[in-house]
Amino acid sequence: MEYPERQDIMKPFRKLWSFLFFMLLTMPVLAAETGVVIKADTIRAEPFRDAKIIAPLSVGDQVEIYRVNGGWLQIKSPKGKYGWVHMLNVRKKTASRSSGSISGLLDIASGRAGTGRIVATTGIRGLNEGELKSAQYDAAELNLVESYTASSADAQDFANQGKLAARKMDYLPAPE
């Protein structure tokens, strides 16, 4: 009687073990991130400031984070409500360094590991010194910018349509 070689017997199990190993490594990546609400906010139906409000969020609420879209996070609230909140109102929880998950490796590779004091900024890039020195007058561009000017009457009509009211504001005191 001839016995099959050990490699022949193990062949079907190699694919199974490879699959299980792959799933074990990717599970933390596939799972939703978690976070905690650091500033009271509302869950919105879409990632827009004027989108329909779904539910309120309180400081300290634990949320599951599913997606990022610009400055918005798609989340699931503790009460099971899904929607969007401002990114700056939720602090993502970080996995412990001893967890050994692949997300920790991704954090190191992306430069997000370290103190945890990640600073978020939003702004407009200005001109550097070289760009200012090489700038030239362009009458066509100036005319284009001036074409965006609204007349006083147009501005008043716009304000009336939006039910805006004029308010008198005091100037700030001059610096000393």
Amino acid residing at 119: V
- Whole-number Cα distances in Å, 150 to 60, 140, 147, 156, 166: 45, 19, 8, 10, 17
Quick one: DSSP state of residue 106? H
CATH number of the domain located at residue range(s) 33-110 in this protein:
2.30.30.40
What pLDDT, in 10s, does the model give residues 40-68? 999 999 998 889 999 999 999 999 999 88
More confident residue, 17 or 67: 67
- CA angle, 122 then 43 then 53, to 5°: 110
What pLDDT, in 10s, does the model give residues 70-91? 888 999 999 999 999 998 899 9
CA distance 107 to 88: 19
CA distance 107 to 104: 5
Q: Which two tokens stand for residue 2?
A: 């001839």
Res 13 pLDDT > 90: no
Is the Cβ–Cβ distance between 53 and 44 less than 8 Å? yes
- Chain centroid to CA 83: how far? 13
Domain boundaries, the chain: 33-110, 134-160
Res 162 pLDDT > 60: yes
